[in-house]
Structure formats: C-alpha cells, structure tokens
Amino acid sequence: MAKNQNIPRRLLDGLMEAEELLERYGRPDEALELLEELHKRYPKSEDVLGMMANAHLDLGDRRGHLNALYRMHKLVPNRAVNKLGLAGAYMATGRIALAYLTFQEFLKKWKHDNRADDAKEALAMLETALDDILPDLDENREKALKFASQHELVQVLMELGDYRQAKKIAERLLKEKPDFMPLYNNLSLIAWLQGDLAEACAQAEKVLSFEAGNIHALSNLARYKFLLGKRDAAYVYAERLVASEDDAFDFWLKKIEALILIEQFEEVLKVFEEAKKAGDEKNLNGLSLHWVASAYWITGDESKAKKYWRKALKKDPSLEFAENNLTALKKPISERDCPQILGIDAWLSRKNFITLEKMFDKLAKQDLSNEEFYRKVQAVFDETPEIISFVRSALKYGTSDAKDTALKFLDMSGAHPDLLDAAKEFAFGKVGTDAMRLEVFQILSKYGVVPNGESVELYLQGAWKEIQPMNYEISPDPFDVPPYPKKVFRLIEEGTDALHAGDGEEGERCFGKALALYGDDPTLLNNFAVSLQIQGKMDEANALTERIADEFPEYFFGQVVAVRKAMNAEDMQKAKEIMDRMASRKKLHITEFSALCDVHIEYFIKSEELEVALSWYQMWEQGYPDDPNLDRYAKQMDMIELMNKFKIDKDSGDQKKH
C-alpha cells in the first residue's frame, strides 16, 4: 500500500482492513466486497485498484484481475509496474495482440528495468501465437497486429461496461473490414447489454447472412428470441446451433450456454455427450460444467449433478453458482434453494435493470392508487418482454438474488396475466424453498388468483399439505366502524387506552358507560368482556362472550368464541365451517387477524395437522410480528420445526440430521 500522508482517513482505514483480510485472514471475497465500495467512493485511488487486482487474482478471477489493472493503468499509465502488470493480465486472458503491444511499450520505455528479460521472454512466446491469428487478418503484419489489438480492446471494454466506446471502436473497425464477422457478434452483444434486443437480433442476423452456421450468432439469437418471448423461434435457432459444425474455439460453451438459458436441458446433456466423445470434456470451463450439472439435476440425476458441480468448482474455485448449489443440497428439503443456474444478468441487461429500479422508485413516490400503479407497471412489462421471461425463468432457475428480484417484480406487476401460469407452476411445484413457494402463493392469493376459503395442496416439508389462501388487508384502524356519537367514540378511545395499559377497571368503566349511552353493540360488549378478563372476573367475562356469540353470529370475535365452543364439544366439522367463513374475509383489523391465526393454530394442533399450524404461525409472525400472543406458541412451533428436520426425506430416502 502506498505511503501517502494526504490519504483520507476513511480510505486509509478501508485499505488497512482490506489488506488484513487479504494478507492475514486469506478472505479475498470479503476484501473485494469492501474494495468495490471504496472504489465507488474513491474511483481514482490506485491503492484500491491495486488491491482489487490482487483480490481477483487470489480468487482465480483472471477477467476481474485484468479489469482492475486496466483501470489502474488508465489512471497511471507511466508507471512500469502498471504497464507490465497489464501486459501480463492481457496474456493470461488470451488477449494476445494487446499483450504483445503492451510488452513492447514496456520494453521501449523501461528497457533497463530488471524485469525486461521477463518481458522479452513473454514476447517470444506471444510471437508463435500471433503467427496463428495474424495471417487471417492482413498480409501487412503491423496493420494486422493493430487491428487484432483493437478487436481485443472492444471485448475488454465490453467487460468493463464501457459499451459506448466499445461500439465506437467496433464500428470503426468494420469500415476497415466489413466482412469480419466477430465484430458483428460483438455489436450484437453490445446492443443486448444496452437493452436493445431488436438491434441485437439484427446484428446477429447479419452474421448468418454471411455464415449460416456461425455458432456465436446462432447461440445469441436463440437466447434473444427466448427473452423476447418468441420461444418457437428460439427453438429453431437452437436446432441449427446444435447441428452447426463451426470451428469456433468456444464451440461447446456457446452451444451449452444457449441451450441452458432456453431451458432445453435434455439437449444440454446430448451436447455434453458429444463433447465427451470428441475428447473435449477436459477443455470445458467451470461455468459449462455447472450448466451440465444443473441439467442433470433438473432431469433427475442428483448423483451426476453433484459430481459435475464438484468438477466445476475444481476447475474454477471462485464459481459461486456451483458452490451455492452444493451448499443447498446439504440443507433440509424445505430450505433447499436448488437449482441456482443463472444470475439476473443472464435475462436482464444491467442498463435495463437499473432503468427498471429507477422507474419503480419513481412510481412508488407518486400518489397512485393500487390499480393505477399496477397498470403503469404492467404497461412497462408489456413494452419490455424480457422482464416477463426473466420472472418466469428466474423463479425456477435463478440465483437467490434473481429469485428475490423476480418475486418483487411479480408482486409489483399486480400479477401480470402473462406471469400467472409461471407463478402457479412455481407455487404448486417442488422447486425452491418452502418459504419462496409460500410467498408466491401469497402473492397469487393477494390478487385473488386463489380465492380465500378454498383449500389447496402445497409441497411443504417434503410432502403435499393442504392449506388455505391467506389474502388479507390488515390494518391497525378498524374497518366499517359504526357511526358512534362523539361522546361514545371518546369513551371508546379512553377505554381502549386503558386496556392497552392493562387497566381493566378503567376499561370496564368506559365501555360500561358507552354501552349505557349507545345500547348493545358487539364491539362494545367484547371490549367490556376483555375488561372483565383483565380483572380476573372470568365467569362474568365468559358468560358475556357466549352471549355475544349467540346474539351476534356475524360478529368476528363472536365467531371466535363459537369456534372454541365447537372444538370443546369435539364438533370439529362445525368449527371448521365457522373458521372457513371467518377466513373468507378480505379486510381484517390487526386484532381480528391475531385472533384468526390464533384459533386456526388451536384447531390444527387439536387436529394433529402440525405443519399447517406452523404455516399459520409463520403467517402470523409475518403479518403482526409484535403481537405478544405469539409467545404462547413459540416453543411449540420451534418443536414442530425441529421434528420436521428429523423426518424422512421422501425425495431422497435419507434421514435429516440437521
């Protein structure tokens, strides 16, 4: 780390912490996370970029290493260590022409440097590689070398996110060589990264007009058409891709990449078998092997899935996809977030994602009704079909971040009609964690897709369980309040405050006076009964609650009493009928929601349907986390969860031991 007396204290502290994580604890992933935050705040710090380069190197991430060194060299180009480091990074990532020219620049300026011999040795090695690529470009070696280096620079700039400059250079190079197909493929990818799928398709189709079997263009078009929702067209391009005999160096990678994104998992395995027969399995990178493992998992071969996720990690120890899936498989089936195949950027370009987030934030700040908000969001989704494709696919096959974002988009869309089938398939399937499937189910219930009161089966704790939709608008303010006179309303407020303070005597006084002024009213009677309970006058309180249930059968808390009376009489059918009627309501005061969850848990515990009782408890926790009544069931629910972890896993036959 540079010794700079003027370095800001916050930056210095961050650098020291990152250095300790790298050097002392060997935790480059944590160091990198810290350094990326520092880089946002101090983009011109050479120290930050230097440590980022080291962290990427420790993680085995050559591209990240190159990107950090490129930025550092751009910041301070006239420093020998920066020039030499960049040349080596170019060489390590296969940027042969850029590496050659950068080593030459180093030797021209620092020919007496003690590392000059290393640079000369590298140049000699690169000469052979250049002999393979330059003759195809031009007879003039110097001109060909310059063209090749600029083409490689386009790819580096794309990785850095400088799409504007990458596009500018690519278009200039095309004027020199209008038949150089890789540039069209680069322009196609740049258009996709900039959020312009129509232009991305147009550029890829230009390539096919020259080379019908170009594997990069076919792979890209299969992906683009799928993202646009044109699945039949995607499958046609995929067939051509599989049949292609193009001699591209990443022949197998481009085939597997497209097939995995368009969800042709059996085709992925067929291509993999071809690669093995050709003796090319050893040449597949970690990402390709991760996709192969994922295809095995989805087609039901767990053993091979584990085998190839381990191979993927061996090839690329920093590959989080493979590591996350192997970690997920060690968890109970209810918590198993597997498979995680692709990240958000596989479906949504970074530019589109940022635009969407800004748009959502802007809409959230506007004074819109729910209906207006959903209508505006749905209009954006209709104009950007890749969002629909993202939500459909990411729910099943995304990383945790991708799935969380897909859930957010699904909810914010007001259950967009084009997403309903995908949401139902996920909620009523076995993929993902119980919590995620329950969340999608709640979204479907929220928008009336699954009516309240109708029981359905969900896959929970490794088995099919019958549950009810839980679609409620919960409010701390009462709905449908009777038009109480001001004096009565004031007494209600005073009495409610007394009950919250545990003062039953004052509550009895206030609600007694309110009843005398207003007459019999179920809400007033119920609060009067609560006042009696607080004072320990249980006989009077119980008599009053039974009277409420008899005289006001539609009153919510009267129904709660009726349910408990039915359960005490062992009339579970009658109890269930009343509970179903209660659960069919869409709007609940927070106390009604609490009572509803409470009585359902009692019922399902008594019926020995413990998993269903647990699901009601979890909903109660989510809807009213501060409710002190939750404590009554906490230990019992913990025990149910513990019991579930030791049940036989019906899918694998192994006993859970977590």
**Residues 369 and 442 grouped into a single domain:** yes
Most confident stretch, 119-123, 331-335, 361-365: 119-123
pLDDT one-digit tens code per residue, 277-308: 999 998 899 999 999 999 999 999 999 999 99
- The alpha carbon of residue 232 and the mean position of all alpha carbons in its chain are separated, in whole angstroms, by 27
Last residue of a domain, one of 398, 433, 450: 450
Q: Look at the chain and report how many structural domains it folds into.
A: 2
Q: Which of 224-233, 248-257, 648-657 has the lowest mean pLDDT?
A: 648-657
1, pLDDT greater than 70 = no
**Residues 427 and 369 grouped into a single domain:** yes
- Which H or E element spans position 467? strand 463-467
Q: What percent of the chain has pLDDT over 70?
A: 94
3, pLDDT greater than 60 = no
Which of the two residues, 476 and 99, has the higher pLDDT score?
99
**Residues 641 and 507 grouped into a single domain:** yes
**Residues 495 and 424 grouped into a single domain:** no
Domain membership of residue 224 (yes or no) is no
CATH code where residue 500 lies: 1.25.40.10
Structure confidence at residue 458 as a pLDDT band (50, 70, 90): confident
**Residues 504 and 625 grouped into a single domain:** yes
Structure confidence at residue 339 as a pLDDT band (50, 70, 90): very high
Domain membership of residue 608 (yes or no) is yes
Q: Number of H helices and number of E strands within the chain?
A: 33, 4
206, pLDDT greater than 50 = yes
What pLDDT is stored for residue 658 in this prediction?
34
**Residues 421 and 487 grouped into a single domain:** no
Q: Are 49 and 72 in contact (CB under 8 A)?
A: yes
**Residues 632 and 486 grouped into a single domain:** yes
Whole-angstrom distance, CA of residue 49 vs CA of residue 39: 7
Structure confidence at residue 472 as a pLDDT band (50, 70, 90): low
652, pLDDT greater than 70 = no
**Residues 626 and 479 grouped into a single domain:** yes
- Whole-number average pLDDT of the chain: 88
Domain membership of residue 551 (yes or no) is yes
**Residues 492 and 526 grouped into a single domain:** yes
Domain membership of residue 410 (yes or no) is yes
- Which H or E element spans position 73? helix 62-75
What pLDDT is stored for residue 4 in this prediction?
53
Domain membership of residue 397 (yes or no) is yes
The residues, any chain, with a CB within 8 Å of residue 390's CB and separated by 6 or more, are 227, 344, 347, 348, 402, 406, 409
**Residues 492 and 636 grouped into a single domain:** yes
**Residues 417 and 535 grouped into a single domain:** no
Domain membership of residue 540 (yes or no) is yes
Whole-angstrom distance, CA of residue 293 vs CA of residue 141: 44
Spell out the alpha helix ranges (H) of 535-646.
538-551, 556-568, 572-583, 590-606, 610-623, 631-645
pLDDT one-digit tens code per residue, 525-552: 989 998 998 999 999 988 998 888 888 8
**What residue numbers bound the domain in which 615 lies?**
475-645
> CA of 433: how far to CAs of 202, 422, 436, 460, 634, in Å?
40, 16, 5, 9, 22
Whole-angstrom distance, CA of residue 423 vs CA of residue 439: 10
Q: Is the peptide bond before 339 cis (omega within 30 degrees of 0)?
A: yes
Domain membership of residue 616 (yes or no) is yes
Domain membership of residue 458 (yes or no) is no
**Residues 402 and 502 grouped into a single domain:** no
326, pLDDT greater than 60 = yes
Number of other CB atoms surrounding residue 285 within 10 Å: 14
